[in-house]
A = this chain, B = another copy of it.
Amino acid sequence: METKKNRTEKRKGNLMSVRDDIKVLDATIRDGGLCNNFMFTDEFVQELYKTNIKSGVDYMEFGYKASRNLFKEEEFGKWKFCKEEDIRAIVGDNISDMKIAVMADVGRCDFKTDFLPKSESVIDMVRVACYIHQIPAAIEMIEYFHELGYETSCNIMAISQANLNQVEEALEMIAASSVDVIYLVDSYGSLYPENAAALANTYLAAAEKTGKKVGFHAHNNQNLAFANTIETLSYGVSYLDATAQGMGRGAGNCAMELLLGFLKNPKYSLYSLLTFIEKYMIPLKQEGVVWGYDLQYMFTGQLNRHPREAMSFTADNRSDYCEFYKSLLENF
């Protein structure tokens, strides 16, 4: 049997080869929606949908299935809730090879009432997001969605703050469930390629035992989102999250244009994405929607902390980086 140590040393494929197991997931509307309260125009979402199909993207995540009991519909754009009819208004019956994903947060989703059976839904995959102490609740949801006929993933957030025993135990539990993909999520953007790779190998060792795939979702707090994505993929991670221009909460995510430029499979095309970026993403930034690497996110990434204070710093248009850094050190 392959030991975990052996796995770490072994890369799958190389910089010239095509990895047919790779699946690229566009999370622009979902993670990017955290930057503008999901207030995208229908045209934006429609064009991104078409762009993703042309670019060879494998999954497009439309947003959250958030509880309408917990969150008021009038305070958010529709992609916070991803009603079946709203997705269908964009994709019709989605007569493409690209699959449709939505995210369901443990504890913030009325999953027993808000999902149709897969046979009646245009959604293909439900991504269940949880913290490591919520694994049992996540598994309950995963089994429910699996029963309904959906593909599922389990996205364990904030993994850089969990200890290795917890991680291994969680992975064993999830790997024994009906889940299809287990995601390593660097919520705080605090992983370096070396420890992202080590964690990915731990995930892969657990996942491969029961035939599960492993995914990676990066954050760019230390400007490492793309680097960590291609490092973990080199060891066998196959589900890769990215967003147009890295749009996502705080420092944002792995930029889709960097990822598509890197992947060698000719099915992925950069040019379609560029036309979308030029026409839709750059105006979005000019309108004042803010995301991306900046010093305040570097601080929280280096300190392995939730970016909430950095997000407030950004929202308040502050530029007193030194004072902010000192306040972080004082509240450590």
- Interface residues of A, Cβ cutoff 8 Å to B: 9, 11, 14-15, 192-195, 222-224, 226-228, 230-231, 234, 255, 257-258, 261-262, 270-271, 274-275, 277-278, 282, 295, 298, 302, 319-322, 325
> Which of B194, B226, B295, B302 contacts A277 (CB under 8 A)?
B295
Query: B274 and A295: CB pair below 8 A?
Result: yes
- Which residues in B have their C-beta under 8 angstroms from that of A257? 295, 298
Could you tell me if B230 and A193 are in contact, using CB atoms closer than 8 angstroms? yes
When all copies of this chain in the complex are counted, the total is 2
Out of B194, B224, B321, name the residue touching A15 (CB < 8 Å).
B194
Residues of chain B within 8 A (CB-CB) of A9 are 9
Is A321 within 8 A of B274, CB to CB? yes
A231 touches B193 (CB 8 A): yes
Q: Is the CB of B321 within 8 A of A258?
A: no
Residues of chain B with a CB closer than 8 A to A228's CB: 227
In the complex, residue of chain B having the shortest beta-carbon distance to the beta carbon of A234: B194
| A298 contact set on B, CB distance < 8 A | 257-258, 261
State A270–B193 Cα separation when bound (angstroms): 21
A258-B298, A278-B320 known; A193-B15 Cβ under 8 A: no
Q: Which residues of B contact A282 (CB under 8 A)?
A: 319
- With contact pairs A227-B227, A277-B321, A282-B319 given, residues A195 and B15 touching in the complex (Cβ less than 8 Å): yes
Q: In the bound complex, what is the Cα–Cα distance between A223 and B189 (angstroms)?
A: 15
> Contact check: which of B15, B270, B271, B325 meets A192 at CB < 8 Å?
B15
A325 touching B224, Cβ below 8 Å: no
**Chain B residues near A222 (CB-CB < 8 A):** 226, 258, 261
Q: Give the distance in Å from the alpha carbon of A140 to the alpha carbon of B123 in the complex.
A: 67
CB of A313, distance to nearest CB on chain B (Å): 13
**Shortest distance between the CB of A316 and any CB in chain B (Å):** 16
**Shortest beta-carbon distance from A32 to chain B in Å:** 17
In the complex, what residues of B have CB within 8 A of residue A275's CB? Answer: 322
State how many angstroms separate the Cβ of A194 from the closest Cβ of chain B.
Answer: 6
Residue in chain B with minimal CB distance to A246: B223
A212 CA to B271 CA in the complex, in Å?
44
Add 16 more A-B contacts to A222-B258, A262-B302, A278-B320 (CB < 8 A). A9-B9, A11-B194, A192-B230, A194-B234, A223-B226, A223-B258, A227-B227, A227-B228, A257-B295, A274-B321, A274-B325, A275-B322, A277-B295, A277-B321, A278-B321, A282-B319
Q: Contacts of A271 on B, CB cut-off 8 Å?
A: 322, 325
A274 vs B192: C-alpha distance when bound (angstroms): 21
